[in-house]
Amino acid sequence: DTAVSQTPKYLVTQMGNDKSIKCEQNLGHDTMYWYKQDSKKFLKIMFSYNNKELIINETVPNRFSPKSPDKAHLNLHINSLELGDSAVYFCASSRRSGGELFFGEGSRLTVL
């Protein structure tokens, strides 16, 4: 059983399109995150949620909209995709703030 699962694993799309990435964790954790990892491997926090409530929104363009329908799921919708959005997006969860992070396998987004 995968603890944190993301779908899809790969996304190739054209500029201007809209896409979504889904994340689910079966660990019973309260906190979930989205991180963006660029080509230089830098892991940048985008959003964090605690029990479905948005806690951190780190200067991400409003083309990115997270949604947490329940505490086990955190989805990411991206409108009007741009070339600079190409990256690997990681979902992660932790039992509590400051606890060990469990990462999903990542979703590699390529915008052409």
Partner 1 sequence: QQPVQSPQAVILREGEDAVINCSSSKALYSVHWYRQKHGEAPVFLMILLKGGEQKGHEKISASFNEKKQQSSLYLTASQLSYSGTYFCGTEIGNNDMRFGAGTRLTVKP
Residue 75 binds partner 1, judged by CB under 8 A: no
Pick one of 25, 48, 68, 75: the residue that binds partner 1 (CB under 8 A). Answer: 48
What is the three-class DSSP state of 110? strand
| CA–CA dist 7, 76 (Å, integer) | 11
Query: Is 74 within 8 Å of 68 (Cβ atoms)?
Result: yes
| CA–CA dist 89, 68 (Å, integer) | 16
Q: How far is the CB of 92 from partner 1 (least distance, A)?
A: 8
Which residues between 17 and 46 bind partner 1 (CB under 8 A)?
Answer: 31, 33, 35, 40-43, 45
State which residue, 43 or 112, has the beta carbon closest to partner 1: 43
State which residue, 35 or 109, has the beta carbon closest to partner 1: 35
| CA–CA dist 77, 47 (Å, integer) | 12
State which residue, 3 or 15, has the beta carbon closest to partner 1: 3
Residue identified by tokens 């926090």 is 45
Cis, bond preceding 8 (omega within 30 deg of 0): yes
The footprint of partner 1 (CB under 8 A) covers 31, 33, 35, 40-43, 45, 48-50, 55-56, 90, 94, 97-106
